[in-house]
Amino acid sequence: MLHFKIQPIAQEWLAQARAHQDQLTKPPGSLGYLEELGVRLAAIQQTLRPTLGKGAVIVCAADHGVTAEGVSAYPSEVTAQMLLNFRAGGAAINQIARAADAQVYVLDVGINSPTPSPERVRSGTGNIAREAAMTRAEAEQAIQVGAEAARRAIAEGATILAAGDMGIGNTTAAAALTAALLGLEARAVTGRGTGVDAARYQNKVQVVATALRRAQARLGELTKAGPLEVLAELGGLEIAAVAGVFLAGAEAGLPLVTDGFPVTAGALLACRINPNVRDYLFAGHRSLEPGHSRQLEALGLRPVLELDMRLGEGTGAVLSFPILRAAASVMAGMATFAQAGVSQTGGL
Ligand SMILES: Cc1cc2ncn([C@H]3O[C@H](COP(=O)(O)O)[C@@H](O)[C@H]3O)c2cc1C
Ligand SMILES: O=C(O)c1cccnc1
């Protein structure tokens, strides 16, 4: 059974932190959204002097049976190949993590490869257009694998935690999950992923719609079904692991950062499993995948960055770490008007 003990953040700390922001030597509100980020970090850490040190990103990787339907611009083998690239330090996330003082952890929760991996729950999901992605027990296990990886990263010193994704076909699974959880049409949440052409895009929308019909026949009204049941039908082993990263991260009381479309599907699931997770979430960026904006609206999250990125791997999440660190430093290090002897109003 899954059980995560997650405290909601204290409203008193939010109020105190907001009041403190207004005492700092700047016109109130002049640091814009950075102030709200600092306030939330202070409330999460329960201090008026929040600090963020080393970060971590857990790149959750798995394969998808639905690639048999021609939904990606790339073959499934790229998932395993990219895993080697992550480990060799040659991927986009490795460079961005270096710039943002973050450690990259790679988690093979479900790659379809002959090379064994200790954390792999199964070798790829079932083809969700035709069958369940995984069993409910496998869904729980994949969440636990993600949770364990988060706990390891925290034990090794992470003070802020992001999740990343790698899995050819995962924007199809993310679209199906998002449509199911939010009660949206396939077309509203299906994007071009790695860059499928117009014909493949039309097919991808149909595949998502077929998967949703199949899941609904099994579970009934999908917005009312349990999150683990929806996850088992429409899958994504890496998306399950992402949910586990966020659940364990929230349990440990760390600020958590979402990435793009597949990762935010994991965040939606985590919040369905335990709504208190939401208090710890920051949206690192807004992806160009159209469904990502629907997810952010549902979570009520404003992204830190909008750089027209649509890669995944945790790149957009980790890129926001320096801004979150600066938001904490502003709260922790700025003098108040009283401390600095600066006139709070010029009497004007
Ligand atoms: C070389 C390469 C590196 C990637 N890194 C992340 N993704 C991203 O693209 C995939 C999802 O898109 P779709 O659903 O269209 O397959 C995921 O693996 C995701 O992490 C990559 C994709 C490729 C090709
Ligand atoms: O939004 C994302 O993170 C994304 C978009 C396309 C492909 N992979 C990931």
Q: Where are the domains of the chain?
A: 11-50+331-340, 55-325
ipTM of model = 0.99
Q: How far is the CA of 308 from the centre of ligand 2 (A)?
A: 11
CA of 193, closest atom in ligand 2: 6
Please, are residues 162 and 56 in contact by the beta-carbon 8 Å criterion? yes
Give the residue numbers marked as catalytic.
313
b/e sequence 75-112, b meaning 16+ C-beta within 10 Å: ebebbbebbebbeeeebbbbebbeebebebbbbbbbbb
C-alpha 270/C-alpha 265 separation (Å) is 9
Collapsed DSSP state (helix, strand, coil) of residue 106: strand
Please, are residues 306 and 285 in contact by the beta-carbon 8 Å criterion? yes
Torsion of CA 85, 91, 96, 99, to 10 degrees: 60
- How would you class 146 by CB atoms within 10 Å of its CB: exposed for 0-12, middle for 13-18, buried for 19 or more? buried
The answer, yes or no, to whether any atom of ligand 1 lies below 6 A from the CB of 174, is no
| Domain 11-50+331-340 sits in CATH 1.10.1610.10 | yes
pLDDT given for residue 345 in this prediction: 79
Q: Which ligand is nearest to the CA of 172?
A: 1
pLDDT given for residue 346 in this prediction: 59
C-alpha 249/C-alpha 333 separation (Å) is 26
pLDDT given for residue 231 in this prediction: 98
Q: What is the mean pLDDT of the chain?
A: 98
CA of 195, closest atom in ligand 1: 15
pTM, two decimals, is 0.98
Q: What is the pLDDT of residues 148-177, one digit of tens each?
A: 999 999 999 999 999 999 999 999 999 999
The answer, yes or no, to whether any atom of ligand 1 lies below 6 A from the CB of 263, is no
CA of 74, closest atom in ligand 1: 24
Region of residue 16 (left: phi > 0; alpha: psi -120 to 50; beta: else): alpha
Q: What is the pLDDT of residues 284-340, one digit of tens each?
A: 999 999 999 999 999 999 999 999 999 999 999 999 999 999 999 999 999 999 999
C-alpha 238/C-alpha 88 separation (Å) is 20
Please, are residues 7 and 321 in contact by the beta-carbon 8 Å criterion? no
**CATH among 2.40.170.20, 3.40.50.300, 3.40.50.10210, 3.40.50.620 for 55-325:** 3.40.50.10210
pLDDT given for residue 347 in this prediction: 59
The answer, yes or no, to whether any atom of ligand 2 lies below 6 A from the CB of 193, is yes
Task: Give the C-alpha distances (Å, rounded to integers) separating 228 from 200, 275, 342.
Answer: 29, 14, 55
The answer, yes or no, to whether any atom of ligand 2 lies below 6 A from the CB of 262, is yes
With a cut of 50, which residues of the chain have pLDDT below it?
Answer: none
